[in-house]
Amino acid sequence: MSRKPELLGLDSDERSDALTAALAGWGEPSFRVRQIEEWVFAHRARDFAEMTNLPQALRERLDEAFSLTPLEAVYVARSEDGTIKHLWALDDGERVESVLIPTRERLTLCISSQAGCALGCRFCATGDFGFRRQLRAAEIVAQYRDSWRVAKEELGRSVSNVVFMGMGEPLANLDAVIRSLTVLHSDFGLGARRITVSTVGLVPGIRELARRPEQFELAVSLHAPAHDLRLELMPIEKRYPLPELFDALRQYQAKKNRRISLEYTLIDGVNDDPGLASVLADQVYGLTCFVNLIPFNPIPSRPEWRASPGRRIKEFSARLTERGVANAVRTPRGRDIAAACGQLRLAEEADAPA
């Protein structure tokens, strides 16, 4: 299928070249490039019709030649705690979700990098779903642009942070994700330290991120500090086992001099033994990291798995602290609207008539 060039998916040189050439062909002055970019990035326009200081005929020509990748919100869920979740329909009917998570200081947006995911982590609803397709850079950025508009309108706030923790594995869609990081950072002006890429631990992607000049934040889904247990939970452990993963993380840190976040979802009786906290402490020795302890969010395919009880989580956390590993227990947000990874889409499919 031939597709109109998507302004959100081009880097600044490509975009400027494409717009300059088109404007010249239509006999329009080149200062229009700046005007159009201001609409796209400062005003977060999602339709050329919004660009009211451009002549009507030009807006129509732009619409014929380029796409702003507007996403269609097919479902919106608002949690009691202020979390807003969107399910977006893409142009071929695939669906992805993003979640706005307000706190006092921040408004974090969690976005998807793939429709589905091929990596099959046993505790993850997106993993159950399987892989559908890669998102294009413009589709990743459009989740930000469209969520930003909702946040402004409903909450009167701007998105301050972006995390790649929705559906999919960002480092398995590396080109599009790097492109989207560049647009979010350079064109929308989000600070690199306000953008977090969360990965299951794809070593080549981590090494590539280490080579980038920007200081994006890195979070790694660990969930188990020992090979056998991690392999049970996460098939990726077979391809990139812990020693190789930690080797890449140490190299990343040597290059970036940044703290790395480790995500650890606590599942009752599966990976929450305090002894494992000690193993984890040994594992991260010499690495400056911060461990986020997240109570498991139950998923339909694993009815036997529950979140660890609060006291067990405290014990795990205390053991890490004793061993000098910085950590915090993260309160799940938006539980009443199934705001965890991939859950809304699954709920919707289950409800759909056969």
Q: State the catalytic residues.
A: 97, 341
Q: How far apart are CA 267 and CA 295, in angstroms?
A: 7
- Which of 148, 23, 2, 134 has its CA nearest to residue 67? 2
Among 36, 96, 165, 177, binds ligand SAH (CB under 6 A): 165
Q: Which stretch binds ligand SAH (CB under 6 A): 91-99, 175-183, 192-200, 313-321?
A: 192-200
Q: Residue 71 binds which entry of ligand SF4, ligand SAH, none, with Cβ cut-offs from 5 to 8 Å by kind?
A: none
Q: How far is residue 106 from each of residues 86, 102, 157, 160, 161, measured CA to CA in Å?
A: 19, 6, 9, 6, 7
Contact, 171 vs 199, CB < 8 A?
A: yes
Beta bridge partners of 98: 86
Q: Residue 129 binds which entry of ligand SAH, ligand SF4, none, with Cβ cut-offs from 5 to 8 Å by kind?
A: none
283-312 footprint of ligand SAH as x/- string (CB under 6 A): -----------x-xx-x-------------
Among 39, 41, 48, 123, binds ligand SAH (CB under 6 A): 123
DSSP annotation of 92 reads: T
Contact, 199 vs 165, CB < 8 A?
A: no
Footprint of ligand SF4 (CB under 6 A): 117, 119-121, 124, 126-127, 168-169, 200, 221, 341
Q: How far apart are CA 113 and CA 128, in angstroms?
A: 16
- Which of 17, 22, 14 has its CA nearest to residue 183? 14
CB of 345 to ligand SAH, least distance (A): 13
Q: Which is nearer to ligand SF4, 68 or 176 (CB)?
A: 176
Q: Is 248 in the site for ligand SAH (CB under 6 A)?
A: no
Among 199, 261, 283, 308, binds ligand SAH (CB under 6 A): 199
CB of 343 to ligand SF4, least distance (A): 11
Q: Which is nearer to ligand SF4, 96 or 121 (CB)?
A: 121
Number of Cβ atoms within 10 Å of the Cβ of 297: 19
CB of 217 to ligand SF4, least distance (A): 16
- Scanning the structure block, which residue is given the tokens 């989580």? 313
Q: Is 200 in the site for ligand SAH (CB under 6 A)?
A: yes
Q: Residue 263 binds which entry of ligand SF4, ligand SAH, none, with Cβ cut-offs from 5 to 8 Å by kind?
A: ligand SAH
DSSP-assigned letters across all residues of 230-264: HHHH-THHHHS-HHHHHHHHHHHHHHH---EEEEE
- With a CB cutoff of 8 Å and minimum separation 6, the contacts of 146 are 46, 70, 71, 73, 86, 88
Q: Residue 165 binds which entry of ligand SF4, ligand SAH, none, with Cβ cut-offs from 5 to 8 Å by kind?
A: ligand SAH
CB of 305 to ligand SF4, least distance (A): 14
Q: Which is nearer to ligand SF4, 244 or 282 (CB)?
A: 244
Pull the structure tokens for residue 175. 């080109």
Q: Is 265 in the site for ligand SAH (CB under 6 A)?
A: yes
Pull the structure tokens for residue 344. 């809304």
Q: Is 263 in the site for ligand SAH (CB under 6 A)?
A: yes
Among 115, 341, 344, 346, binds ligand SAH (CB under 6 A): 341
Side-chain half-sphere CA neighbours of 109 within 13 A: 28
Q: For binding to ligand SAH (CB under 6 A), which residues are involved?
A: 123-124, 165, 169, 198-200, 221, 263, 265, 294, 296-297, 299, 340-341
